[in-house]
A and B are shown apart, each in its own frame.
Chain A
Amino acid sequence: MEQPRFINSLSGRLLLLGVMPAVLAIATIVTWSAVEVYHGAMRTQKQILASDAAAAAAELSARNDRWNATAEILAMGQVDGLFGRRKESLAFLKSANSLTSLNLSMYIVYEPNADGRDADSLKSGEIPKEAMDETGRFVPVWYDEYSDGVRTGETKLKQSVGMEALDYYLLPKSEFARTGKAVSIVTEPYIKEGETLVSHVCPIVIQNKFMGIAGVNRSLDVLTSIAEAIKKRSHADVFILSPGGHFIAATTDAGKSGEEVLKDRDIADTAFAPIASRWQVAEGTNDQTGFQLHDPVLDEDCLYATAKVGVGGWSVVTRRPISEVMRAANAAIRRNVVLGIIGVALVGGLMFTVTRRVAGRVRLAAESADRIAHGDLTQPIAQSASHDESGQLMRSMHSMDANLNALVGNVKQAGIRLNSTATEIAATSKQQEASSATFGAASNQIAAAVKEISATGRDLVKTMESVNRMAGESASLATSGQASLQNMEGVMRDLDGATASIADKLNAINERSQKITTVITTITKVADQTNILSINAAIEAEKAGEYGSGFLVIAREIRRLADQTATATLDIEQMVQQMQGAVSSGVMEMDRFSDQVRRGVREVASAGAQLTEIIDRVNRSTSSFTQVNESMQAQSEGAQQISDAMASLVANANQTVQSVKEFSGAATDLQSAISLLREAVAQFKLRE
């Protein structure tokens, strides 16, 4: 049996349709799982990062809001009665400044001569000069003194400067002029004496008129520690940016070597300039999901999240490298891939083992089926102990083989018996056909014969009548013939005697011719001797030369005479031989004629006797002819009846022959069918 190619084999198909889908499914699951894990982790990390940024922004917003409230309290104190009361205002401002241990300063700046007392205050000296400018304008600033970076605990007074040019004064004034509302603002951070500061300023509005500002300056160095705290919690780098695009704080400034210091620098001047646009967050559009960018400093892809600080307009940016964020996810993905590969290997191995076993049994079944298809039932099909479908197939094949073996054996036996029976039937039908044909032919012949008998019978009746008439005439003729025969018998006897006499004479002639032959032989010998003698004489005469020339002539003449004698003798001999032949044949003819004459004499005598008897019988049988005539009449009628019956019998015989022919044809067809059956069954080889 031809082995299929592996791709067309059951093993190939099972492996292709079993292992490949499993591999594809596992690969799909692993891939899908990896993608989901990756994206889930990415999404989660983005959300975590966004949450950290939002939390930091909220914390910073709360801090800014608290300091804005402080500035508003200072401004409200002026509105509610302290405005113009410069000495009390100065004391209140100092008391407020001393309430916190943080590094800050508090201040009040009136519009020039807003309370109408600039000149008076300058003259009266009721307040320190440090609380006024040279025009008497009230601009006091209470601040904590530091020595070598350490707070000394002493509070000092100084003048505010630059108010006509700096944002901390111009910004709230213009904002009030634009909105008509007294709202605290946070200025852009600035550096003063190496320290990053920010001002929380509230306008002093009395009777809807801008009278000045009250505010608090505070150091932003603390933001770095706040950012570090956030980093410690979220493991993310934190960047805090001002609305003007300056770094207020960055966790990367603390510790990591090789990275540039970002604090107080414009972002456009740093390596983050290319991605700075993505860090700017509009008011109220906090990114809740984070985003991915290639970090120009770390030179790798990082996740970023931004949040807007509600009070102050700062931006909080959190950053984590993807390699760090996705480390756990990648480990999980690798674990899943390894497990997937192991799973594929296990599935493949199991499928290969199962397929090999099943394919082996199916191949064995196919080979057995092919062998059975070719009629080979000599080898039993092996049993299988397996309980799966292939084992059941092998057991079924085994049972089928056994049953088929028995069935074919029975069919063979039945075929043999059937063939024998069919042969007998065919032979019998052939015999019946032949018998029927013979019977039909015989019936036809009989019918024809009976017809002929019938006709003959009628003719006989007529003939008998004429015979009866002629019998009498014959009797008279026979009587006269009898007399003639007696005369002829006498003549024949005389002829027989004459013939015997002629034979005797011929024999005598034959004996005489024999004697003539003897004489002729003698003459021939003499002539021959004479011829030899003449030759020898001629030879001797020649040898004798001219003396023998005369004798040579004589010898030639003698030889000529001898030759003539021999020739004549030869003629005589031939004539005698012809005469002897004629005499011999005449003797033989005479003997035969004599025998015929004697036989004729006997026959004439016998004919005479028979004629005598015929005459007697004719005379006696005249009366019998009448009886015979009547019998022939009855026989003719009976023959006619038999002829009619035979015609019917012939018709039946013909029908029988036709039926037997049809039956014979059917028997032949049956024999052919049995032969075909036996040929078909003979293709099966059975076990012994």
Chain B
Amino acid sequence: MPTLAVIWRSAGLLFATGVDCIVEVLPPLAWSPTPAVPAWVRGLFSHRGQLIPLVDACTLLGASRPADSMANRVLVVRCSLAPDSRFCTAGLWVQSVVELDRLDFGAAGSHPGFATEAGRFLGSVIDTRFGQVQLVRPENLFTPDQAAVLAERLSEAAA
């Protein structure tokens, strides 16, 4: 079933994220570094009065982080916080947004992708007019342990 997805570029590759997971797309913005976090977490930034984590897509995909430019975009996505299936928002810093198009990742000929712990957020790969595009599922951006800690802290903040 084709769904509308944002096709974006990072680490020289094309990825796509369904619009149902995207809150909005932002230009490059200011953010604050945070200590004792994984290398792929740049820090926190303010999104409509709320501090959310900013994840660097290049570092997350295992590549070195390039210099920032005006073409960079921040995809504000919704992340699943298992096990209570609560959601939180996070920013995903990508190199550029290529297009907004309808893609069918379950179509015949697609590749299911390689299931690894480091690539748990990666999904199927399909061939498009832009080239090979791989699905990125933001809900799997954090590991279960990270998601549990994050959910607990969000609960404490809400209380």
User: CB within 8 Å of B: which residues of A?
Assistant: 528-529, 532, 535-536, 538-539, 542-543, 556, 559
Q: Are A536 and B25 in contact, CB atoms less than 8 angstroms apart? A: yes
What residues of chain A lie closer than 8 Å to B150, measured between beta carbons? none
Q: How far is the CA of A543 from the CA of B73 in the complex (A)?
A: 20
Q: A528-B70, A542-B19, A543-B20 are in contact. Are A535 and B97 (CB under 8 A)?
A: yes
Q: How far is the CA of A539 from the CA of B97 in the complex (A)?
A: 13
What residues of chain B lie closer than 8 Å to A556, measured between beta carbons? 100
- Chain B minimum-CB-distance residue to A563: B99
- Chain A minimum-CB-distance residue to B70: A528
B18, chain A: closest CB distance, angstroms: 9
12 contacts between A and B (CB under 8 A): A528-B70, A529-B27, A532-B27, A535-B6, A535-B25, A535-B97, A535-B100, A536-B24, A538-B100, A539-B6, A539-B22, A543-B20
Q: Are B70 and A539 in contact, CB atoms less than 8 angstroms apart? A: no
- Chain A minimum-CB-distance residue to B18: A542
A532, A538, A539: the one within 8 Å of B73 (CB): A532
What residues of chain B lie closer than 8 Å to A539, measured between beta carbons? 4, 6, 19, 22, 24-25, 100
B26 adjacent to chain A (CB < 8 Å): yes
> Interface residues of A: mostly helix, strand, loop or mixed?
helix
What residues of chain A lie closer than 8 Å to B26, measured between beta carbons? 532
A297, chain B: closest CB distance, angstroms: 139
- Rank and list the top 6 A-B pairs by shortest CB-CB distance, nearest first: A542-B4, A539-B19, A535-B25, A536-B24, A542-B19, A538-B100
B79, chain A: closest CB distance, angstroms: 17
Q: A543-B19, A543-B20 are in contact. Are A532 and B70 (CB under 8 A)?
A: no
Q: How far is the CA of A86 from the CA of B26 in the complex (A)?
A: 215
B87, chain A: closest CB distance, angstroms: 15
- Chain A minimum-CB-distance residue to B26: A532
What residues of chain B lie closer than 8 Å to A538, measured between beta carbons? 4, 19, 100
A-B CB pair tally, cutoff 8 Å: 30
Q: Given A535-B25, A556-B100, list of 6 further CB < 8 A pairs?
A: A528-B27, A535-B6, A536-B24, A539-B6, A542-B19, A559-B100
Q: How far is the CA of A543 from the CA of B24 in the complex (A)?
A: 11
User: Contact flags (1/0) for B9-27 with A, using CB distance below 8 Å?
Assistant: 0000000000110101111
A246, chain B: closest CB distance, angstroms: 154
Interface residues of B in 54-112 (CB under 8 A from A): 70, 73, 97, 100
- Chain A minimum-CB-distance residue to B24: A536
Q: How far is the CA of A480 from the CA of B60 in the complex (A)?
A: 84
What residues of chain A lie closer than 8 Å to B27, measured between beta carbons? 528-529, 532
- Chain B minimum-CB-distance residue to A524: B70
B45, chain A: closest CB distance, angstroms: 16
Q: Are B19 and A532 in contact, CB atoms less than 8 angstroms apart? A: no
What residues of chain B lie closer than 8 Å to A528, measured between beta carbons? 27, 70
Q: How far is the CA of A542 from the CA of B25 in the complex (A)?
A: 14
What residues of chain A lie closer than 8 Å to B73, measured between beta carbons? 532
- Chain A minimum-CB-distance residue to B25: A535
Q: How far is the CA of A44 from the CA of B100 in the complex (A)?
A: 162
- Chain A minimum-CB-distance residue to B73: A532
Q: How far is the CA of A113 from the CA of B80 in the complex (A)?
A: 206
B93, chain A: closest CB distance, angstroms: 14
Q: How far is the CA of A528 from the CA of B25 in the complex (A)?
A: 12
- Chain A minimum-CB-distance residue to B23: A539
User: Contact flags (1/0) for B108-152 with A, using CB distance below 8 Å?
Assistant: 000000000000000000000000000000000000000000000
What residues of chain B lie closer than 8 Å to A529, measured between beta carbons? 27
Interface residues of B in 1-54 (CB under 8 A from A): 4, 6, 19-20, 22, 24-27
B42, chain A: closest CB distance, angstroms: 19
A35, chain B: closest CB distance, angstroms: 124
- Chain B minimum-CB-distance residue to A536: B24
What residues of chain B lie closer than 8 Å to A559, measured between beta carbons? 100
Q: How far is the CA of A542 from the CA of B24 in the complex (A)?
A: 12
Q: How far is the CA of A542 from the CA of B6 in the complex (A)?
A: 12
What residues of chain A lie closer than 8 Å to B6, measured between beta carbons? 535, 539
A528, chain B: closest CB distance, angstroms: 7
Q: How far is the CA of A538 from the CA of B7 in the complex (A)?
A: 13
Most buried by A among B20, B26, B27, B100: B100
A479, chain B: closest CB distance, angstroms: 70
What residues of chain A lie closer than 8 Å to B24, measured between beta carbons? 536, 539
B130, chain A: closest CB distance, angstroms: 14
B95, chain A: closest CB distance, angstroms: 15
Q: Are B100 and A532 in contact, CB atoms less than 8 angstroms apart? A: no
What residues of chain A lie closer than 8 Å to B19, measured between beta carbons? 538-539, 542-543
What residues of chain A lie closer than 8 Å to B20, measured between beta carbons? 542-543
What residues of chain B lie closer than 8 Å to A543, measured between beta carbons? 19-20
A520, chain B: closest CB distance, angstroms: 13
- Chain A minimum-CB-distance residue to B102: A542
- Chain B minimum-CB-distance residue to A535: B25
Q: How far is the CA of A535 from the CA of B22 in the complex (A)?
A: 11
Q: How far is the CA of A559 from the CA of B25 in the complex (A)?
A: 13
- Chain B minimum-CB-distance residue to A555: B100
What residues of chain B lie closer than 8 Å to A536, measured between beta carbons? 24-25
Q: How far is the CA of A529 from the CA of B26 in the complex (A)?
A: 9
Q: A539-B19, A543-B19, A559-B100 are in contact. Are A532 and B25 (CB under 8 A)?
A: yes
Q: How far is the CA of A529 from the CA of B27 in the complex (A)?
A: 8
Q: How far is the CA of A255 from the CA of B20 in the complex (A)?
A: 172
